[in-house]
């Protein structure tokens, strides 16, 4: 029996993203390649579709034994964190071999065999139901609904960590984000889903750069109480405040 395997490109050591990870981690290219192999192997062993539920970048760092490596992968787009407890590998099928696919097919075959064996004396409609086809159909519909925008389009996952990082980079004087979950994350996710043009990091970079031009939103003028007003990201992404910002209420010109 052949061993499980994953792809390692011949030009991987000179790939621009590897060079960026090398610079970010202050390491050498062979250790970076080893780190990538470790991460891809974790996904190959524990995921069948390129996602790991219950994982955070910090937990993955602990598993592979390299603090900060997951964030470096995330920064170049080779790893996506949903801001809660799910990691995904955008190029999973490119780097991983047949082991995950084979494991998924074996599990499905065994599961279907057990269910169908129990229903062998039932009629055809009941067999189809017992085998899970109706249940799978309902689950698929619910999952599809959850991934749709108000207009009915499929929406990519909101990259919370990357947006928070842009906020810190462009608005360093505004309050630092220490905890980003619950209602805060829900507000950002809602703004992300409302409009397709907001579903890119370029939009959010321009949004924060626009805020940086406002003396009022960056604490350079006095508020109603005589003290500077310095809002955080959680304030900015609330529906009413977000609308006022993009309408130009705090600027001399409207947002792009």
For 213-231, the pLDDT digits (tens) are 999 999 888 777 778 889 9
Q: How much of the chain, in percent, has pLDDT values that exceed 70?
A: 71
User: What span, in angstroms and rounded, lies between the C-alpha atoms of 203 and 183?
Assistant: 22
pLDDT at position 12 over 90: no
For residue 121, give Cα distances in angstroms to 112, 116, 125.
15, 10, 11
Which of the four pLDDT bands, split at 50, 70 and 90, describes residue 128? low
pLDDT at position 140 over 60: no
Arithmetic mean of pLDDT, 13-42:
90
Give the global pTM.
0.42
How many Cα atoms within 13 Å fall on the side-chain side of residue 132?
14
pLDDT at position 171 over 70: yes
- Give the model's pLDDT for residue 90: 86
Choose the most confident range, by mean pLDDT, from 1-10, 19-28, 133-142: 19-28
Q: Of 27-41, 82-96, 176-190, which gets the smallest average pLDDT?
A: 82-96
pLDDT in tens, 43-97: 888 888 889 999 999 999 999 999 999 999 999 999 999 988 899 988 776 655 5
With CA atoms as reference, report the closest residue to 200 among 245, 140, 242, 158. 158
> In this structure, what are the phi and psi dihedrals at residue 222, rounded to the nearest 5 degrees?
-85, 145
Which of the four pLDDT bands, split at 50, 70 and 90, describes residue 130? low
Tell me which CATH code domain 12-95 carries: 1.10.10
Domain locations along the chain? 12-95, 99-146, 160-246
For residue 100, give Cα distances in angstroms to 4, 40, 42, 76, 185.
9, 11, 11, 24, 31
pLDDT at position 245 over 90: yes
């Amino acid at each position: 029996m052949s061993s499980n395997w994953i792809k390692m490109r011949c030009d991987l050591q000179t790939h621009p993203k590897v060079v960026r990870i090398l610079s970010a981690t202050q390491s050498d290219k062979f250790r970076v390649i080893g780190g990538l192999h470790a991460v891809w192997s974790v996904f190959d062993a524990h995921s069948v579709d390129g996602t790991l539920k219950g994982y955070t970048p910090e937990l993955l760092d602990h598993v592979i034994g390299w603090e900060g490596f997951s964030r470096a992968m995330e920064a170049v787009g080779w790893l996506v964190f949903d801001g809660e407890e799910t990691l995904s590998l955008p190029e999973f099928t490119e780097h991983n071999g047949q082991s995950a696919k084979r494991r998924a097919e074996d599990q499905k075959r065994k599961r279907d065999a057990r269910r169908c064996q129990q229903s062998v004396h039932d009629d055809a409609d009941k067999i189809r139901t017992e085998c899970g086809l109706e249940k799978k159909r309902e689950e698929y519909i619910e999952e599809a609904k959850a991934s749709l925008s108000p207009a009915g389009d499929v929406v990519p996952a909101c990259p919370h960590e990357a947006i928070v990082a842009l906020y810190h980079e462009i608005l360093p004087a505004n309050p630092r984000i220490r905890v980003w979950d619950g209602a805060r994350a829900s507000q950002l996710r809602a703004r992300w889903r409302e409009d397709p043009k907001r579903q890119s990091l370029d939009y959010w970079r321009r949004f924060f750069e626009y805020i940086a031009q406002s003396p009022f939103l960056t604490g350079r003028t006095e508020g109603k109480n005589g003290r500077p007003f310095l809002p955080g990201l959680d304030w900015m992404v609330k529906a009413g405040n977000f609308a006022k910002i993009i309408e130009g209420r705090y600027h001399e010109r409207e947002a792009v």
